[in-house]
Structure 1
Amino acid sequence: MPEWAVNCILIAISIWPLIRIERWIHRHVQGLGLLLTNNPQAAVLIYYLIFVPGVALHEVSQFLLAKLLGVEVKQFRIWPEEQQGVIRLGLVEIDQRKTDTVRATLIGVIPLVTGIAMIAWIGNARFDVEILFTALSTGDLPTIAEGIREFLRAPDFWLWFYLLFAIANAMLPEEHDEINWWIIVAPAAGLIVFLLVLDLGILVQAWLEGPFTLLTEAVAFALWMSLGIDAFMWALLSVAEFIFSRILQRELEYN
């Protein structure tokens, strides 16, 4: 199987669990803040401060692209606000009546693009991921342990880990984003069909094995790194909730 196909499969497999675990993390970060402070306003502040780098990247990227595309921005904020019983950490609201589906889709999807780009860059530039993957592939526990220790020795490891966590959990499209995925998929598929009809399959193959492979590799890497970080934080939050609920004699209930 070609490398680009493997990358596409990895991307497809990661999407559903990433969406599910992101929703869980958002609920439980709020819950843990409420458990620790017993104050709803303080809990919202903690929730916001934890994700503020990702929120800023999400909303600012949408705002800048909207301005670049000449789309009117009705609301722009990067601070929390309750809307219909839900805490929204930020918002870019565009005037849907004065724009078109293409521009609305581009604005809706840009946080995901910038988020994946930032995660891929941080993961490759700040962490020695190759050492970790090589160690894990051996299946030898001492080698794996040494690989993990070497991975954790990266300069400012926990700072970059935190930034990855904040970005990964604020990059996915939100309910109010107007995204038509066919606008993104159809042109690429149409170009491939056009080249095949012209008997230019060699160009398609070169594109698939070159730029497309590199692109899908970066996306798969970013999504699986996000999933790995979220899995670690899922375990950490679960343990923290269990411990503090026993210490403080308070229980959390989630809808």
Structure 2
Amino acid sequence: MAFEGIAAFISSLVLLLVIQRWLHHEMQAFFFLLTGRPGWALALFSILLFPGVLLHETSHALVAWLLRVPVQGVSLLPRLLPDGQLELGYVRTTPTDFLRDALIGAAPFLAGTLLVAHLGLNVLGFKTLIPLFLRAEWQALPQQALALTQQPDFWLWFYLTFAISSTMIPSAADRRAWWAVGTVLGIVVLVAILAGAEQWLALTLWPLLNRGLLTLGLVLGIALAVHLVLVLPLWGLNRVIARARHALRV
């Protein structure tokens, strides 16, 4: 039984979450160094991610409408939560069954992965980098990546890919019904195994799941690459600005 799909998905997701958290911290630090005001820093940070926030909340609302779940409120304005975390927007829906709740919660991730896959592979042309990466042709990678930046509107599409991929991960509220769905699926699989369908699951269902997770891992890898391109220069720039400001005070 092949496990490369689940390995690619988990590793890409964990790395993306770590790098994304780091990048968001550096972005907010940069805007604070630029303005000297926390409120302005959060406002500029929110504006930069607005295209992704718009897609995220629109996906929630659209799926809720398709599933006939009333929407009680929508906001695209950022606010600080009581625990100190920043909420960039929200869609509040009427309580419903766990299946529809889970689908509404998963909508931004599904929409985001589809768009990131299209933008990354077809528009930005990252698909030309994948064979070089798989063959470990490290010397050819920078040259090919630099050539991609010469495409018309490359940086506009790069920005949109970043904004979407940086806001597509489901929040804790989005995931609240996933445990119920996971439990039901786990019970179904367990019953199938006890009924003697283990070989069928291994030969038929698992390969499909493995390929699906491998594809998701690739899309998350695109998002990870975009975040890495941004976080390292921004981290360095923040260190330079902070030291320069400290030197001026001295």
Which structure 1 segments of 5+ residues have no match?
251-255
Q: Taking structure 1 as reference, are residues 86 and 206 closer, same or farther at Cα in structure 2, changes over 3 Å only?
A: closer
2:77 to 72, 79, 87: 79
1:164 aligns with 2:161: yes
Deviations 1:74-122 (A, max 9, x none): 22111212232333111112233xx122222221121111111111111
User: 1:246 is matched with which residue?
Assistant: 243
Amino acid at match of 1:36: L
Give the Cα–Cα distance (whole angstroms) in 1 for the partners of residues 109 and 185 of structure 2: 19
1:145 aligns with 2:142: yes
Q: Is the 8 A contact 1:126 1:154 kept in 2?
A: no
Q: Taking structure 1 as reference, are residues 174 and 136 closer, same or farther at Cα in structure 2, changes over 3 Å only?
A: closer
Give the Cα–Cα distance (whole angstroms) in 1 for the partners of residues 190 and 45 of structure 2: 45
Which structure 2 segments of 5+ residues have no match?
none
Greater Cα offset, 48-57 or 27-36: 27-36
The count of corresponding residues between Structure 1 and Structure 2 is 245
Q: Is the 8 A contact 2:5 2:212 kept in 1?
A: no
User: 1:36 is matched with which residue?
Assistant: 34
Q: Taking structure 1 as reference, are residues 95 and 139 closer, same or farther at Cα in structure 2, changes over 3 Å only?
A: closer
Q: How does 1:118-197 map to 2 (within 5 A)?
A: 118-140=115-137, 142-177=139-174, 178-184=176-182, 186-187=184-185, 190=188, 194=192, 197=195
Q: Taking structure 1 as reference, are residues 185 and 214 closer, same or farther at Cα in structure 2, changes over 3 Å only?
A: farther
Give the Cα–Cα distance (whole angstroms) in 2 for the partners of residues 192 and 127 of structure 1: 43
Amino acid at match of 2:47: L
Give the Cα–Cα distance (whole angstroms) in 2 for the partners of residues 153 and 61 of structure 1: 32
Give the Cα–Cα distance (whole angstroms) in 1 for the partners of residues 215 and 136 of structure 2: 25
Normalised TM-score (structure 2) = 0.83
Q: Is the 8 A contact 1:11 1:220 kept in 2?
A: yes
Q: Is the 8 A contact 1:196 1:204 kept in 2?
A: no
User: 2:94 is matched with which residue?
Assistant: 95
User: 2:48 is matched with which residue?
Assistant: 50
Deviations 1:131-174 (A, max 9, x none): 21233345455433332233333432211211111111111121
Amino acid at match of 1:70: R
Q: Taking structure 1 as reference, are residues 181 and 18 closer, same or farther at Cα in structure 2, changes over 3 Å only?
A: farther
Give the Cα–Cα distance (whole angstroms) in 2 for the partners of residues 6 and 152 of structure 1: 31
Tell me the percent identity: 27
User: 1:253 is matched with which residue?
Assistant: none
Give the Cα–Cα distance (whole angstroms) in 2 for the partners of residues 168 and 39 of structure 1: 27
Give the Cα–Cα distance (whole angstroms) in 1 for the partners of residues 123 and 170 of structure 2: 26
Normalised TM-score (structure 1) = 0.82
Q: Give the aligned CA root-mean-square deviation in angstroms.
A: 2.9
**By how many angstroms is 1:70 displaced?**
2.3
Q: Taking structure 1 as reference, are residues 206 and 150 closer, same or farther at Cα in structure 2, changes over 3 Å only?
A: farther
Q: Taking structure 1 as reference, are residues 243 and 154 closer, same or farther at Cα in structure 2, changes over 3 Å only?
A: same
Q: Is the 8 A contact 1:126 1:155 kept in 2?
A: no
Give the Cα–Cα distance (whole angstroms) in 2 for the partners of residues 221 and 185 of structure 1: 27
Q: Taking structure 1 as reference, are residues 202 and 127 closer, same or farther at Cα in structure 2, changes over 3 Å only?
A: farther
Q: Taking structure 1 as reference, are residues 129 and 213 closer, same or farther at Cα in structure 2, changes over 3 Å only?
A: farther
User: 1:65 is matched with which residue?
Assistant: 63
User: 1:21 is matched with which residue?
Assistant: 19
Give the Cα–Cα distance (whole angstroms) in 1 for the partners of residues 226 and 88 of structure 2: 21
SS at match of 2:168: coil
